[in-house]
Amino acid sequence: MSITLANLPRLADLPKLPKLPFGSEEPLDPTAGRGKVALVTGASSGIGGATALELAKLGFKVYAAARRVERMETLANLGVSVLRMDLTDDRSMVVGVRTLLDEAQRIDVLVNNAGYGSYGAVETVPMDEARRQFEVNVFGLARLVQLVTPTMREQGSGRIINVSSIGGKIYEPLAAWYHATKFAVEGLSDSLRLELAPFGIDVVIIEPGLIDTEWTPIARKSLVERSKGTPYEGRARRLAAMLRRVEGPRFSSSPELVGRRIALAATTANPRTRYPVGAGAGTVTRARRMLPDRALDAIVSQL
């Protein structure tokens, strides 16, 4: 039976996809990272911090990058090397990767995780902010790919792990720029996977669902501020209230869960192309595969 607006199913009623073979608590080989080097961006918070820690536990020499280096002191005390890096500043990326390569002489894993959610209606988000959103979430990510691939090619091996989102699969109103960047990360990563496969470099996409980090308050703040006094204010308030409700461990998964999934993707012999992970990720993946656009519109419009 085809799905139409008239017989719209509830999300929970959609048939289950086969379960992923990667349980959240699957034990990781504690020696898998020995002799290997990883760079993790956005490591001053949330998913990036958890990933840096997880990779260090597996024996990787980890370089953790972000703007707020003072937030990475705990990682530094555990032997992680800290790099000050701003994804809107080309020089900081060039210098950061050069420092890593001078010291470590190789790079095995790049985790492109840094990012933020710039919310607000397309009509009200200043174009400079829209460009900044792309600069951080897409162009910064791509620039780091450019900087590490020559070394990975010479090595004949490497793994690039791009953190996308379930927001790279579905869409919400008042979040177009964020979704545009994550859809871009999905497409860029798919093309890149084919470009780099002949050189022995894997490209993996991580699609987190709702994760309990600083991401949601930052997105919520941008939404409320950009919508104030505009025709979108009422809807923005409702969406902000919904985002507020899902914050916290009751509805959102921990960044550690995503960190472990990224560590698995970094170390498993044959990685999947994509790893949906965390609260809502499975449901959204199913919904996107099974529902036509208008049916999904009807569900998402309730936000």
Ligand X SMILES: NC(=O)c1ccc[n+]([C@@H]2O[C@H](COP(=O)([O-])OP(=O)(O)OC[C@H]3O[C@@H](n4cnc5c(N)ncnc54)[C@H](OP(=O)(O)O)[C@@H]3O)[C@@H](O)[C@H]2O)c1
Active site residues: 178
Q: How far is the CB of 185 from ligand X (least distance, A)?
A: 8
- Of 61, 60, 116, 126, which is closest to residue 87 (Cα–Cα)? 116
Q: How far is the CB of 165 from ligand X (least distance, A)?
A: 3
- Which ranges of the chain does DSSP label H, i.e. alpha helix? 46-57, 73-77, 90-104, 127-134, 140-155, 176-196, 215-227, 233-246, 255-267, 281-290, 293-300
Q: Residue numbers of the site for ligand X (CB under 6 A)?
A: 41-48, 66-68, 71, 85-88, 113-116, 136, 163, 165, 208, 210-211, 213-216, 218, 255
Q: Considering the complex, state which of residue 34 and residue 98 has its C-beta at the smaller distance from ligand X.
A: 98
The pair phi, psi for residue 230, each rounded to 5°, is -110, 170
Q: Considering the complex, state which of residue 233 and residue 247 has its C-beta at the smaller distance from ligand X.
A: 247
Q: Considering the complex, state which of residue 172 and residue 233 has its C-beta at the smaller distance from ligand X.
A: 172
Q: Considering the complex, state which of residue 116 and residue 199 has its C-beta at the smaller distance from ligand X.
A: 116
Full DSSP string of 216-255: HHHHHHHHHHHHTTSTTHHHHHHHHHHHHHH-STTTSB-H
Please state, in angstroms and as integers, the Cα–Cα distance from residue 295 to each residue in 16, 23, 43, following that order: 18, 31, 37
